[in-house]
Structure 1
């Protein structure tokens, strides 16, 4: 295909030397009163955000716009994925008051769209699904007009736990596929490519009216053809929203970046995804799963209604 001429050979970049970060990934850090206020709020409420724990490059922009993603079930994950900066180890006891604290903060912030994610809790029988559900209900009680998106782990493929979460009627169910099939064992801990697809399939089958969403990181050594295959696999289980962004190595202990995909390549990939019928696509070097989440929800809802 002629449009692929802009692509660089990933294999040529797959060496042990760190790649120089391109200019388009330089982030201008700007803090203001909203950012400071939100940071103080999170610390005062003993809450954790994926914005901080995962070292998201968009934290300054999002927090200045009074948007944040809450991370529940503590800040210690039972998995040790090669790309993730969240702490791993033996989690602390479950905090059953956490849903109300999240709702308190969401109300104070006046959120229109709240994203709730969590560390993996493989130590819990329901993988934390009941706390997820209570958090959704608590936010709804405080902010009836606020849409709520959930981003859980695969919960070990536990269908009962998945149903417990979906019974709370989140506005968007998000579960990230993260990488292509061939790299899943290297990039993700305990998760499998097929289990992720099955979770997304089961979610849509159980609650067809709830939009589903998944995210893909680029830069681990995947090929263009493998990315296209991920798109086709996600559409085969009727995923509505897809996001694609550049992987950035959080520390030297984590997986190295094998390729920096250009903004032009991300634009081409967005075109390919839209051709395949996704209701909304976010694609760019600094895009993360929850980036512009409110806009994603509105766009997907509008497109779904139009298609009905």
Structure 2
């Protein structure tokens, strides 16, 4: 085992005694180049300067080189330690520290300095907090609105399970896009997402629309974990019943041998077929490809999402 691989596994103490799942060689269509551009280094420098955490790094996103070269970054608030231990995720697990009350202002300042037209804010799960971190999300949104008023804001939240009133606090802060990922099909939740409940997550998305129909809702799943095509189709139907606007589908990539094994690499043709199926069900936006991730090219997608809603409203008149 390499030193780097061993270091990454220590991030997940709950996985250390699990048997190894060999990491499969990636097919040609899913390989990416190492980041080397000046723009990438400039974005990295700004992240370090403001002492910020990004999901791009913590989750080992394969698109970090492309996104940071375009000065796109997804900020991860409330620390880098998650209270849950999902089998697919490379974010470290353990006991988190206290919230940093100045973090919302640092995120806002970095957003302004990067000149972002669209910013994505996500977080670790903070089941240790009474509100799951809802107020911290709201304060971050408010800080960005003040420092960078022209920037549109997308949030990718935890499920706030068993935290009464938490969702309402976040919705009242009026993000432009509310994203919460379901990650996989219901049958695989006990092994892939054991700390969550499928229908709670679905109801969360539905409640956002009930509380504020003007907010775009977005959610994503990974494929290649052993799901069946009919199960993916059922998730699409569940999403549409909850009036979810934007669906993302991407390939699961195994971070370390201790994480859930890849069942198979889904082909680009299959991703295209999923996209056709999803569009036929009425989603305003669909992103389906091997390298699709929740916040990948989120700014460009938001512009198309807003345009799609305007066309939908015009056609309804």
Q: What is the TM-score normalised by the length of structure 1?
A: 0.93
Q: Corresponding residue for 2:15?
A: none
Aligned-residue offset at 1:158: 3.1
Inter-partner Cα distance in structure 1 for 2:133 and 2:83: 12
Inter-partner Cα distance in structure 2 for 1:58 and 1:139: 24
2:42 corresponds to 1:37: yes
Q: Corresponding residue for 1:209?
A: 214
The answer (yes or no) to whether the contact 2:217–2:245 under 8 Å persists in 1 is yes
Inter-partner Cα distance in structure 1 for 2:125 and 2:85: 10
Aligned-residue offset at 1:306: 1.8
Inter-partner Cα distance in structure 2 for 1:129 and 1:18: 36
The answer (yes or no) to whether the contact 2:35–2:64 under 8 Å persists in 1 is no
1:269 to 253, 271, 274: 274
Listed as ranges, the gaps of 5+ residues in structure 2 are 1-20
The answer (yes or no) to whether the contact 1:241–1:296 under 8 Å persists in 2 is no
How many residues are matched?
Answer: 293
Aligned-residue offset at 1:30: 3.2
Q: Corresponding residue for 2:106?
A: 101
1:167-178 aligned at under 5 Å gives the runs 167-178=172-183
1:120-131 aligned at under 5 Å gives the runs 120-131=125-136
Q: Secondary structure at the match of 2:270?
A: helix
Q: Secondary structure at the match of 2:165?
A: helix
Q: Corresponding residue for 1:54?
A: 59
Inter-partner Cα distance in structure 2 for 1:157 and 1:213: 22
Q: Corresponding residue for 2:311?
A: 306
Q: Corresponding residue for 1:7?
A: none
Inter-partner Cα distance in structure 2 for 1:174 and 1:46: 24
Aligned-residue offset at 1:189: 3.2
Inter-partner Cα distance in structure 2 for 1:295 and 1:282: 11
The answer (yes or no) to whether the contact 2:275–2:287 under 8 Å persists in 1 is yes
The one-character-per-residue Cα deviations of 1:2-45 (angstroms, maximum 9, x if unpaired) are: xxxxxxxxxxxxxx665432111111123211111111111121
The answer (yes or no) to whether the contact 1:69–1:117 under 8 Å persists in 2 is yes
2:153 to 148, 151, 174: 148
The answer (yes or no) to whether the contact 1:244–1:288 under 8 Å persists in 2 is yes
Q: Corresponding residue for 1:294?
A: 299
1:173-184 aligned at under 5 Å gives the runs 173-184=178-189
The answer (yes or no) to whether the contact 1:82–1:255 under 8 Å persists in 2 is yes
Q: Secondary structure at the match of 1:155?
A: coil
Q: Corresponding residue for 1:237?
A: 242
Inter-partner Cα distance in structure 1 for 2:140 and 2:270: 38
2:286 corresponds to 1:281: yes
The answer (yes or no) to whether the contact 2:131–2:164 under 8 Å persists in 1 is no
1:115 to 120, 140, 143: 120
Inter-partner Cα distance in structure 1 for 2:308 and 2:208: 19
Q: Secondary structure at the match of 1:303?
A: helix
Inter-partner Cα distance in structure 2 for 1:17 and 1:213: 32
Inter-partner Cα distance in structure 2 for 1:138 and 1:17: 44
Q: Corresponding residue for 1:8?
A: none
Inter-partner Cα distance in structure 2 for 1:199 and 1:148: 19
Give the superposed CA RMSD: 1.1
2:65 corresponds to 1:69: no
Listed as ranges, the gaps of 5+ residues in structure 1 are 1-15
